[in-house]
Amino acid sequence: MKHISRWFSFAAGLTFLLPAAPAFAEDERSLEDRCRAEVVELHEFLEQWSNAELPATEEAFARFGDVIAPAFLIIGPDGEQAGQESIVDAIRAAHGRWREAPGRIRIENYRLHHAAGGLALATYEEWHDLGEGRGRLSTVLFGPNDAAPNDVEWLHLHEVWIDPPEAGTD
């Protein structure tokens, strides 16, 4: 018992080396809020861009191009890979692709899994209301970027196909 008492006395003296818990929680919460906002806002942009609700200008497109990191890599649900230049070009060319039958994108089940050193790893479901029978489960890695709307940029995105839950099951 004497050894345990000495250990607690010693450990109590080391508390100055640890960050205060409330400050850490506030920092993590702030990063979580920024990442969640980025996922929602970027998909709102993609919906508006695809429906031609935004003008096909560089100024409007900057919302997408400015948050995709130079070393960005996307692995699509079919396993195809594309880097920053390819995905930026593909999205730019997709302006108005849903003009005739406007589509909607829903984001569900966002979850931050890890956050450290300004990096954040999150998952979310992306559902397109275009008659598709399946959605995408996306895993995204964000990094810091003070010039981006939510102070984060997309470093890596990996998507896999998912089926909607069956009716009547939870």
Instruction: Tell me if the domain spanning 22-162 has CATH number 2.40.10.120.
Output: no
Residue 167's pLDDT is what? Answer: 62
Q: Is the pLDDT of residue 6 over 90?
A: no
Domain ranges in the chain are 22-162
Query: Confidence class of residue 168 from pLDDT cuts 50, 70 and 90?
Result: low
- Mean pLDDT, range 146-164, rounded to an integer: 95
DSSP state of 165: P
Q: Is the pLDDT of residue 26 over 80?
A: no
Q: Residue 141: which residues within 8 A CB-CB, separation 6 or more?
A: 119, 120, 121, 154, 155, 156, 157
- Taking only the tens place, the pLDDT of each residue in 86-136 is 999 999 999 999 999 999 999 999 999 999 988 999 999 999 988 767 899
Give dist(CA 157, CA 144) in Å, integer.
15
DSSP state of 107: E
- Taking only the tens place, the pLDDT of each residue in 61-72 is 999 999 999 999
